[in-house]
Amino acid sequence: MPELPEVEIVRQSLDRRTRQKKVKKVLVRNRNLRLKIPQNFAKHIEGKKIIKVKRFSKYLIICLSDKSYCLLHLGMSGTVHLLNKKKKNLVTNTSFYSSPLIPKKHNHVEIFFNDFKIVYNDPRRFGFFEFLANDNLLKKRLSHLGPEPFQKEFDLDYVFSFFKGKKKSIKNFLLDQNFVSGIGNIYASEILFLSKINPEKKASFLSKKDCKKLILNSKKVLINAIKKGGSSIRDFKNTLGKSGNFQKNFNVYERNRLNCMRYDCKGIIKKKMIANRSSFFCNICQK
């Protein structure tokens, strides 16, 4: 599933191409996504300009000219493709993984503009589109989510207070979108490595110093991943034909049984299932 950096890369591609462009037509080929697309969805979008494309957590927010919104979540396998009318794109995929070619039977939604169209493709259909008529409805829809690591609300008081008396592991909480938004399995492992914290450690056992490191390294890892175009676990290329490169900087993720990357550590990277997800960590320097 795409995490915050990969969704941000998609946002940048969409915003660059669709800003101030008018939606001519919306074609819904399959309404049966994770949330069923309403019958009148197309009517809400057609004829409106896209003012900009924003993002919160793992959600794309398409801001429309009448101050309404189209919310898009990519789910497990959703990809967004940009196709030009007049020339064939060698690469269409704005998303972080999967083939740059479109398996057409999974094209569920198409949004048409003057000289190009957006195609939403999703083999597993865990993604969804949602129309929200105003700002209040958007805020209410996202109110269950915790702050992003970049927000000022994600500070020492918030983190340390949240962890008091909590029995679950710190890895559980980094994946909990009610606590912090946008971090997924890949980046949780990398954040905990930089912080020298074992993923199985109970959150209530973390000191204020540990919490400071988590806050700092959450920002550091995500910013670095965005700069490097996200993590291409398979063969993603964006619309400029560039792959994400952050996977070349993994310290622990998918490095099971390899030596720890720290120059002064003789540990070995271990793999363990925590919170039903594969966790990677050093058996010596992460305590």
Report whether 183 contacts 275 (CB < 8 A).
Answer: no
Phi, psi torsion values for 246, nearest 5 degrees: -65, -25
Bridge-partner residues for 80, per DSSP? 120
Distance CA 2, CA 186 (A): 10
Distance CA 157, CA 161 (A): 6
Q: Of 29, 202, 220, 277, which one is the catalytic site residue?
A: 277
Rg (CA), the chain: 20
Task: Assess whether 277 carries a catalytic annotation.
Answer: yes
Distance CA 112, CA 48 (A): 12
Q: At which residue do the structure tokens 């129309």 appear?
A: 131
Distance CA 17, CA 9 (A): 13
Task: Assess whether 58 carries a catalytic annotation.
Answer: yes
Q: Of 11, 58, 171, 237, which one is the catalytic site residue?
A: 58
Q: Of 3, 6, 148, 190, which one is the catalytic site residue?
A: 3
Q: Of 2, 5, 149, 199, which one is the catalytic site residue?
A: 2
Q: Which residues are catalytic?
A: 2-3, 58, 277
